[in-house]
């Protein structure tokens, strides 16, 4: 019996040694690919920004559902992307996603806040919407005066908002993964856990997330601001320190 136990322990030791040596020799990129946590992401608004982000996340292994007012177009987009992509109604996407991304004209937020109130409550929402007065009307003027981060919080009650992807071109969003970490993505939020979740997804797109402050700082995350465009993490930190 003692000899049998000794032999069994020796086999277990050799097996563990082989496994550990295999891990040590495994390329870091392969280890990252095998440990990436898949996230269900509902994207409401499948225009340039929504489609660019959704395509990048699907390629990274996340499960994406596109939604807009044009279901047929969303189905075609999902088919084009292929693996990990699907399409549904806004209600379906909001229920599907562990994380939601809103990439719609700002004037659409009041209705979404009402029609998706149940799904939004307690859910991490990445707010990629920008208020443009010439497109969105009076609500854009109100949002700019109040600050777009605080305005979105009021329009989407109960959502755990992270303001991000507001001042970079959609084409660059789709290509950032080619130079991961080279450029920063400034974000604003009052929710620490939501920031951690959104930051992981932002890195999967190819940007290094930089928290510039709470939602009151979201007013700086609009096109034309000093934080707009692709800039290095160091540059974004320097600018954010002056706001």
Identify whether 4 is part of a domain. Answer: no
- How much is the pLDDT for 36? 58
Q: Which residues contact residue 243 at a Cβ distance below 8 angstroms, ignoring those fewer than 6 apart?
A: 212, 213, 217, 220, 226
Identify whether 222 is part of a domain. Answer: yes
Identify whether 11 is part of a domain. Answer: no
Whole-number Å distance between alpha carbons of 50 and 226:
24
Identify whether 52 is part of a domain. Answer: yes
For residue 114, give both structure tokens.
Answer: 């009402």
Model confidence, pTM: 0.84
Residue labelled with tokens 């970490």: 181
Identify whether 109 is part of a domain. Answer: yes
Closest of 140, 144, 58 to residue 104, by C-alpha: 140
Instruction: Provide the domain limits for residue 189.
Output: 37-240
Whole-number Å distance between alpha carbons of 32 and 35:
5
Whole-number Å distance between alpha carbons of 55 and 77:
9
Domain count, the chain: 1
For residue 33, give both structure tokens.
Answer: 């690919």
Burial label, 10 (beta-carbon count in 10 A; 0-12, 13-18, 19+):
exposed
- How much is the pLDDT for 21? 41
**44, 100 in Cβ contact below 8 A?**
yes
Residue labelled with tokens 């939601």: 100
Identify whether 13 is part of a domain. Answer: no
Q: What end-to-end distance do the CA atoms of the chain give, in Å?
A: 73
- How much is the pLDDT for 178? 86
Tens place of pLDDT per residue across the chain (243 aa):
444 444 444 444 444 443 334 433 333 333 333 345 899 999 999 999 999 999 999 999 999 999 999 999 999 999 999 999 999 999 999 999 999 999 999 999 999 999 999 999 999 999 999 999 999 999 999 999 999 999 999 999 999 999 999 989 888 888 888 888 899 999 999 999 999 999 999 999 999 999 999 999 999 999 999 999 999 999 999 999 999
For residue 37, give both structure tokens.
Answer: 């946590």
Identify whether 28 is part of a domain. Answer: no
Alpha-carbon distances, residue 19 vs 12, 217, 226 (angstroms): 11, 48, 50
Q: Which residues contact residue 175 at a Cβ distance below 8 angstroms, ignoring those fewer than 6 apart?
A: 206
**3-class DSSP assignment, residue 156:** coil
Whole-number Å distance between alpha carbons of 134 and 150:
21
| H or E stretch at 43 | strand 40-44
Identify whether 150 is part of a domain. Answer: yes
CATH code of residue 220: 3.40.50.720
Q: Positive or negative, the Cα torsion across 120, 123, 127, 128?
A: negative
Q: Which residues contact residue 5 at a Cβ distance below 8 angstroms, ignoring those fewer than 6 apart?
A: none
């Amino acid at each position: 019996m003692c000899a049998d136990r000794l032999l069994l322990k020796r086999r277990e030791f050799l097996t563990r040694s082989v496994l550990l040596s295999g891990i040590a020799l495994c390329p870091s990129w392969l280890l990252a690919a095998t440990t990436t946590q898949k996230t269900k992401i509902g994207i409401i608004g499948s225009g340039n920004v929504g489609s660019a982000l959704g395509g990048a996340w699907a390629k990274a292994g996340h499960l994406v559902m596109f939604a807009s007012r044009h279901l047929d177009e969303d189905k075609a987009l999902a088919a084009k992307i292929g693996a990990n992509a699907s399409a549904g109604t806004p209600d379906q996407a909001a229920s599907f996603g562990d994380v939601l991304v809103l990439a719609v004209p700002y004037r659409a937020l009041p209705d979404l806040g009402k029609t998706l109130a149940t799904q939004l409550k307690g859910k991490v929402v990445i707010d990629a919407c920008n208020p443009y007065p010439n497109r969105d009307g009076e609500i854009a003027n109100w949002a700019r005066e109040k600050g777009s981060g605080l305005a979105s919080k009021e329009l989407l009650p109960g959502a755990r908002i992270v303001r991000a992807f507001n001042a970079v071109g959609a084409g660059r969003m789709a290509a950032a993964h080619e130079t991961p970490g080279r450029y920063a993505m400034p974000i604003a939020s009052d929710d620490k856990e939501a920031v951690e979740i959104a930051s992981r997804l932002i890195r999967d797109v190819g940007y290094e997330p930089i928290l510039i402050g709470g939602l009151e700082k979201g007013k700086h995350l609009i096109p034309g601001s000093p934080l707009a465009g692709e800039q290095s993490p160091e540059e974004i930190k320097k600018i954010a320190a002056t706001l």
